[in-house]
Chain A
């Protein structure tokens, strides 16, 4: 009888299921960070140690402000989940390499405090913190955010020999500012230029230049099912289709690899927290991002539209989720009245 008593005292009771997959939030964050490393290493090669230092400052500011704020608010400190590191890294990827040292710190602190923690922390933010940080810097210090480009090692800002003053997308937006528009447009769609753009021998934000190195990590995440293919395919697919249909002087391939599209489609639009949870919703979200991006690039005031398109779609996410509920097994389509 005594033995029985002892066994009963030890027994732990909880609801089913009693096994769980090894998949954890922190391990997913770690994988995304690892997937970004090829691009970071390439950026360090391309722009020098300065790019790496900006990334480190940005990460430290993100992690530091998260810890500080959580402490001030008396919440549990959760910097070990990796999400703040990722936010810091992604913000740095979205900054020109020549920005002053304080800029990434301010941007990261804004991203973590105002876009994430004040809404309740991880899981409760409705917009991508890194992109919110970038938008904040863009609005506050527009000249620092659009002019501090650095010439890449062994290349030019535009990817075209002889034109080093602008990034490919700004050249496409205002070719007349840099010389004979016709020649410039022809050169931009040249195979050599496209190759430079694809491998990243061009100017641009720290992490966005090399589509090649971003694709290595992005495709690995797709394969591991950390990110959802619907968003990526919806985004790139709708974007490519519209780039082909709509009046623009850049070729489809040029548009796909110039600027931050690959970074945005694989690493930022796919952010779990700020994208829809329904399958249909993820398609709509991706397609919406593609549409807005191309509209901004063609008719908008900025040469690039990736970050604003994602931010806008982030805002629509709750509505998309509500309007695209999954079909429940055995549901019979009812006409008229909805619950």
Chain B
């Protein structure tokens, strides 16, 4: 049993959808596909208004190395390329496609391939062409993580199936229903990286998934259920006992971490050249009639998904993209699902609470998995003393929310840290 990283919290799991098998949602009438769904530069539009597209047609070309291509998720006609609400960055350029109700796939896609005969470079190219990004939430382009510089020897490939966020069960369901495919995808990653060890990391609240993976004979790290167990740095520390240096990357300590969903999506790309056009999303919360796990086309607006789940219950006060600890609150239900969307939470309750004075209880210091002193950073940010906030390590904050979760004075610490980081970055750009 692995458990070793300091700090962390134990929020109520509320995983009420863990027994809901993945349902395939019918194709929506319209999709809004943002060109920016990943870390890095937005894709460059390669279609224009009026073009006919099929499922899998590339509509945006990766712009540089740290970028990802974007594909049409339905078959139909591009009715506009325009600004539309975006779940992460507020608003962005989207390709709006109206469905023609056909299930035609793009003819560019080739059939089954013999993966064993392909070189690493060819395999990475497939991942890049398919627009695969990390499906755990950060949406970092996967081909970049599969191409470490030559001087970085990777010995451990960790497949992240922790899903430590409360309420989310999409990865859990994927692990139960597509065990073999995830393993096969992960093994291809292992082949590409030439990594000695392949380790599947699963929290011990998903005993059924652990059992399935163990039955397949792969190495499973059974991790203690503790938030944020699935955070990359904490995960590496727990499994291989190495600390990613400040400002460094997992590859600096010989590790690469990929999410289970990414392995599955990549396998479909390796085998069938299928680009990333859909993903599993957990729909949960008391503001939507049915809670379930749904396979959704990228670009489907929330309102369509809620309709598919029986509609809103009375007054939806909050829509969260992601989990309750790190998710992003939405201002419109027209925002589309993007590649990094792991869950959609709809709540009837506004959950606003007044901030009180810090009583220096040190709960945040004890809870911080990064060894920071949230209370000191917060007071420095509030006083606009950004240099001091930086000296206290605000840039190391992973925004996991443990500090704000435990704060008895209800101080929205993460909010202040995000603000502080932005100010520091803005200054350093000048």
Residues of A whose CB lies within 8 Å of any CB of B are 4, 7-8, 10-21, 23-25, 27-28, 81, 121-124, 228, 272-279, 282, 321, 325-332, 339
Contact = CB atoms under 8 A, between A and B. Distances in A.
A339 B391 contact: yes
Contact of A328 (B166, B353, B393): B393
B373 interface: yes
A328 B396 contact: yes
B359 interface: yes
A328 B371 contact: yes
B359 A122 contact: yes
B9 interface: yes
Given A20-B407, A329-B243, 6 more contacts: A123-B358, A123-B360, A272-B359, A273-B360, A329-B246, A330-B247
Given A4-B334, A11-B317, A18 B324 contact: yes
16 contacts: A4-B333, A11-B316, A12-B329, A12-B351, A13-B329, A13-B330, A16-B401, A18-B320, A21-B405, A25-B409, A122-B357, A272-B359, A274-B360, A325-B392, A329-B237, A329-B370
A13 B244 contact: no
Interface of B: 9, 11-12, 166, 233, 237, 243-248, 303, 312, 315-320, 322, 324-334, 345, 347, 350-353, 356-363, 365-366, 368-373, 375-376, 391-393, 396, 399, 401, 404-410, 412, 414-415, 418
Q: Which 3 A-B pairs have the closest CB atoms?
A: A17-B401, A15-B415, A123-B357
Given A16-B326, A273-B360, A326-B365, A11 B318 contact: yes
Contact of B370 (A13, A15, A279, A328): A328
Contacts of B372: 326, 328
Contacts of B248: 330
Nearest to B12: A19
A17 B331 CA distance: 16
A19 to B, nearest CB: 4
Contacts of B330: 11, 13
A13 B362 CA distance: 27
A309 B366 CA distance: 26
B289 to A, nearest CB: 14
Nearest to A226: B361
Contacts of A327: 371
Contacts of B399: 16
A238 to B, nearest CB: 20
A282 B365 CA distance: 12
Contacts of A332: 245-246
Contacts of A81: 356
A277 B246 contact: no
B317 A331 contact: no
A197 to B, nearest CB: 32
A23 B408 contact: yes
Given A11-B319, A13-B330, A19-B324, A121 B357 contact: yes
B359 A20 contact: no
A84 to B, nearest CB: 13
Most buried by A among B237, B347, B357, B368: B357
B414 A228 contact: no
A16 B325 contact: yes
B284 to A, nearest CB: 12
Given A7-B333, A14-B329, A123-B359, A329 B233 contact: yes
A17 B324 contact: yes
Given A7-B316, A25-B359, A25-B409, A18 B327 contact: yes
Contacts of B303: 4, 7
Given A7-B312, A10-B315, A277 B365 contact: yes
Nearest to A3: B303
Nearest to A332: B245
B85 to A, nearest CB: 9
Contacts of B350: 12
A330 B245 contact: yes
Contacts of A277: 360, 362, 365, 373, 375-376
A273 B359 CA distance: 5
B361 A272 contact: yes
Nearest to A24: B408
Contact of B404 (A20, A124, A276): A20
Nearest to A339: B391
Given A20-B405, A332-B245, A278 B365 contact: yes
Contact of A228 (B244, B357, B362, B375): B362
A226 B315 CA distance: 37
Nearest to B350: A12
B243 A330 contact: yes
Contact of B373 (A12, A27, A325): A325
B415 to A, nearest CB: 3
Nearest to A124: B357
Contacts of A121: 357
A124 B319 CA distance: 36
Contacts of B246: 328-332
A18 B351 contact: yes
Contacts of B360: 123, 272-275, 277
Nearest to B419: A15
Most buried by A among B9, B245, B408, B418: B408
Contacts of B401: 16-17
A221 to B, nearest CB: 13
Contact of B366 (A14, A279, A321): A279
B243 A14 contact: no
B412 A14 contact: yes
B166 A25 contact: no
A23 B363 contact: yes
A14 B357 contact: no
Contacts of A272: 359-362
A279 to B, nearest CB: 7
A8 B369 contact: no
Nearest to A228: B362
B418 A15 contact: yes
Contacts of B324: 16-19
A11 B406 contact: no
Nearest to B6: A329
A12 B318 contact: yes
Contacts of B328: 16
B371 A326 contact: yes
A321 B377 CA distance: 13
Contact of A25 (B312, B333, B356, B404): B356
Contact of A278 (B317, B370, B373, B409): B373
